[in-house]
Amino acid sequence: MRGLFITLEGVDGAGKSSHVEWLAAHFRSLGRSVLFTREPGGTPLGEKLRDIVLHDAMHPETEALIMFAARREHVEQVIHPALARGEVVISDRFTDASFAYQCGGRGLPEARLEILENWVHGDLQPDLTLLFDVPGEIAQARLAAAREPDRFERERMDFHSRVREAYLRRAMRYPNRIRVIDGSRTLDEVRAQLAVTLEPW
Ligand code: TMP
């Protein structure tokens, strides 16, 4: 069976993590093996880099380079092998997050990241990206009720608005790959949207 690469994206507080179990169960019910992973992270080295990039102050370009360094390991050690085994790989974030956060949020030129993207995974793109979209106020309210905020979650509202807009621009640019899910709905309503979106897969 052909491997399937699915990524989950959205601003912090968009609620993507609430649907991971449901997504995995959906594919298992179709007889597929599911591997769930995340970025930044997904490998022992990647998790160390995650800790650094989420908590230490750094230049925006350093931040982008660390994201792609972690991704290099992740693609090589986890994603490619699992796809070769025919599994469904579900990654909580991938390169769209770099374009949304480092370009949209921090203002780095897209051309820089396109170079890194080609370098790190020129031969690999997600088959499907589920973009959980919520208005800024809802995302902020969810974050306020959640755990201790990291460096990104502590950013001001205008940063999160730019990240959201950058995600939505990418969804317009890649309409076949990126599907926008209205994350402001109830859990059941979001699942209904997911079920429809996943039907062809
Ligand atoms: P998470 O909280 O969804 O696990 O994501 C960790 C943070 O890392 C989140 O605020 C988004 C950020 N991030 C980037 O800025 N660029 C990236 O390429 C990735 C993968 C995540």
- What tens digit of pLDDT does each residue of 88-143 get? 999 999 999 999 999 999 999 999 999 999 999 999 999 999 999 999 999 989 88
What is the rounded distance in angstroms from the CA atom of residue 74 to the CA atom of residue 65?
14
The structure's pTM equals 0.97
Q: For ligand 1, atom 10, which residue shows the shortest CA distance?
A: 152
Residues framing ligand 1 (Cβ under 6 A) = 12, 38-40, 67, 92-93, 97-98, 101-102, 152
Query: How far is ligand 1, taken at its centre, from the CA of residue 95, in Å?
Result: 10
Pocket test for ligand 1, best of 18, 39, 58, 132 (most atoms within 8 A of CB): 39
- What tens digit of pLDDT does each residue of 28-61 get? 999 999 999 999 999 999 999 999 999 999 999 9
Indicate if the pLDDT at residue 146 is higher than 90.
no
- Which strands, in side-by-side order, build the sheet including 178-182? 34-38, 88-92, 4-10, 128-133, 178-182
181 phi and psi angles, rounded to 5 deg? -110, 130
Q: Is the distance from CB of 71 to CB of 121 less than 8 angstroms?
A: yes
